[in-house]
Amino acid sequence: MRQALTWIVPAALAAAAWLAWLGWDESGTYAAWQVVGSAVSLVGVVALATLVFRDPGQVALAATAGYAIACAGTATTDDGSGLSDIGLALLVIGVGAASFAVAFGTREARARQQGDRPHP
């Protein structure tokens, strides 16, 4: 059960971060405060999920997938040019890199705080 929750919880919370900050805006042009709010929320989700589930790779993958699926479901539905597909691919790369950095950074910080080495 815990293994399933390690996938479900970060994905659901990351999707909620997208929907809460960006999913409702149909203009296609997001304000800076929306993007910053979404990013801060996503960092919090990844860091907390890493502390709870202790599997940074899985947490980062799940959060990236949840965020990207929410984006694909709301932001790319009306675009016929294909540019939103490129934007989605770039979003996956950027959110994935940031999620992995936050997750493994959180694991390292926790290990240093506890005075031991992180698990490989």
Tens of pLDDT, residues 53-76: 999 999 999 999 999 999 988 876
**Residues near 92 by Cβ (< 8 Å), separated by ≥ 6?**
64, 68
pLDDT greater at residue 76 or residue 22 = 22
Give the separation between CA 120 and CA 110, rounded to whole angstroms.
14
Identify residue 52 by its one-letter amino acid code: V
Residue of 25, 91, 32, 22 lying closest to 63 (CA atoms): 91
pLDDT tens, position by position, 24-51: 887 778 899 999 999 999 999 999 999 9
Task: Answer for the pair 66, 96: CB distance below 8 angstroms, yes or no.
Answer: no
